[in-house]
A and B are shown apart, each in its own frame.
Chain A
């Protein structure tokens, strides 16, 4: 009898021991914009239950665009997250938000599209863009890429009539023949290509600019909880590592993730997402943010974006990238054997 009692106690204690990590999980508020390729790791990690592997319990908040996401940081609505590089720089200038890593390189998927029947003529003579209406979401990565395209064509900012619209409204306007030129980001690029026979006239990469996506954190949060931020990064990197090693499963999950956000993207569209948008593992992140030989590669990219925001009058001064690009969290992941292994582990089921 006593033996049975002891066994029961041992089982209960063992169960408590197993449950302990989940009870000890630390809450973290993560923000992102839905239906974005770079937000896919949040979805994968949640579906796979990887947050609890590092002792985090995420609470997600989504925003339709970067500016409201950045503004919500002031009210401490989120701790860490992902956003476009343009709102990341704006957040640095306004509220001291720091960029702790890169989500992806979206230079090829922020593009200036033209109606199919006008493509050949405009491609041959880009000066035809002069005086035309450009539908674009201002203060965004695609605004940056579109203006770089105009510069490449030898046109100034005022040579086109810039009409500021949300991405969904741009699709509506384009579909109803209320504009022949649109600045959109993926997956809206595929939607316009497939449903309205639009063609990419120029993207950020064509125009010679790099349009990265940013992993961001509130500076006060990162300072107070560097360990949690490192764990967040480890999970994010792990999800990408897994996605690259398991393309079929990742493809299906991307489709489900976009459908959850109300956007139906074709298989071709999802293939393009994976083909056109490089993502960066831990070693690459560290290398790109390395300042041991002066300014880092990422410093240069973000400095150009700051210059763009200053040029369009959004900010008065271009903030020094060294004040808001912070690789310490990424270094912390690399320095922690467990987190580093987790970030680079592609084998997890």
Chain B
């Protein structure tokens, strides 16, 4: 215990990012060890209920090598990335625009908000039959389901961001007679960016979590399809492998969005 404390103290001069990485790696390693001990070493959790690391690794190799659910991992990942990116970008563009409008203009908010409040609680799964009816079984229907889920956080966070801009900044811009376009591009959007990015991160999460539902719409490839087929096959190790892939892809995309955010909000730390 003392040794651990000393080691931990020794990290005191580490930079915060390194320390966070160390904690993350330690936590994940501990989880991995607990998984191995509970399933393989002691058998406290039966393999029927939760697959052990060896079975999960075998499933991952099957997915990567010969393939599963009609395609290999690369094809599944490419298809899912296409859907998530397409849905996220469309939802973000639409959501941020609607959010800016609702935050900036009270009349626009009065018009849009009732419809938005009505549609917001409807789960994305409920849209599947309509998505098939309107857009068929192709990618458009799947993207529609993702857009519906990812649209909401962008709207809410953007409009909240606009509403919470420091009133003195807004007043100053008005007093100086700033034209609408300049007010939008130099005051409204930059001041709302932190909230907009919070919304985008939540939208990205929503896009990934809706992928499985979206790929219920007659998918021929995709990680969501792998999860659906594995569920039908009652193949827990494959379910866990596909969940791991979704987790890693989601994490990578969030990381990428974080980089874009750092670049866009560079002025905050400058």
Chain A contact residues, CB within 8 Å of chain B: 65, 67-68, 70-71, 74-75, 90-91, 94-95, 133, 135, 138-139, 161, 163-166, 168-169, 172-173, 175-176, 178-179, 313-315
Q: Pick the contact of A74: B49, B68, B233 (CB < 8 A).
A: B49
Q: How many residues of B contact A (CB 8 A)?
A: 21
Inter-chain contacts of B48 with A (CB < 8 A): 74, 94-95
Inter-chain contacts of A138 with B (CB < 8 A): 229, 232
Binary interface profile of B, 126-144, with partner A (CB < 8 Å = 1, else 0)? Answer: 0011001100110000000
Question: In the complex, which residue of chain B has the Cβ closest to the Cβ of A94?
Answer: B234
A176-B136 in contact given A67-B232, A135-B218, A163-B218 (Cβ < 8 Å): yes
- From A94, A95, A313, name the one whose CB has the most chain B CB atoms within 10 angstroms: A313
B238 CB, min distance to chain A CBs, angstroms: 11
The reply on B64 being an interface residue by CB < 8 A is no
Q: A314 to B69, alpha carbons, bound, how many Å? A: 10
B139 CB, min distance to chain A CBs, angstroms: 13
Inter-chain contacts of A169 with B (CB < 8 A): 128-129, 132, 216-218
A139 touches B129 (CB 8 A): no
- From B49, B133, B136, B218, name the one whose CB has the most chain A CB atoms within 10 angstroms: B218
A347 CB, min distance to chain B CBs, angstroms: 42
A173 touches B137 (CB 8 A): yes
A172 touches B232 (CB 8 A): no
Binary interface profile of B, 100-139, with partner A (CB < 8 Å = 1, else 0)? Answer: 0000000000000000000000000000110011001100
Q: A72 to B216, alpha carbons, bound, how many Å? A: 21
A131 CB, min distance to chain B CBs, angstroms: 14
Q: A146 to B129, alpha carbons, bound, how many Å? A: 24
Q: Pick the contact of B229: A91, A94, A164, A172 (CB < 8 A).
A: A164
Binary interface profile of B, 213-232, with partner A (CB < 8 Å = 1, else 0)? Answer: 00011111000010011011
Given contacts A94-B234, A165-B216, A172-B133, 20 further A-B contacts (CB under 8 A): A65-B232, A67-B231, A67-B232, A68-B231, A70-B234, A71-B231, A74-B48, A90-B234, A133-B137, A138-B229, A163-B220, A164-B225, A165-B218, A169-B128, A169-B217, A172-B132, A173-B218, A178-B132, A178-B218, A313-B68
B233 touches A67 (CB 8 A): yes
B232 touches A176 (CB 8 A): no
A172 touches B220 (CB 8 A): no
Inter-chain contacts of B232 with A (CB < 8 A): 65, 67, 138-139, 164, 314
Q: A315 to B232, alpha carbons, bound, how many Å? A: 11
- From A67, A90, A161, A175, name the one whose CB has the most chain B CB atoms within 10 angstroms: A67
B216 touches A163 (CB 8 A): no
A173 touches B132 (CB 8 A): yes
Inter-chain contacts of B137 with A (CB < 8 A): 133, 163, 173, 178-179
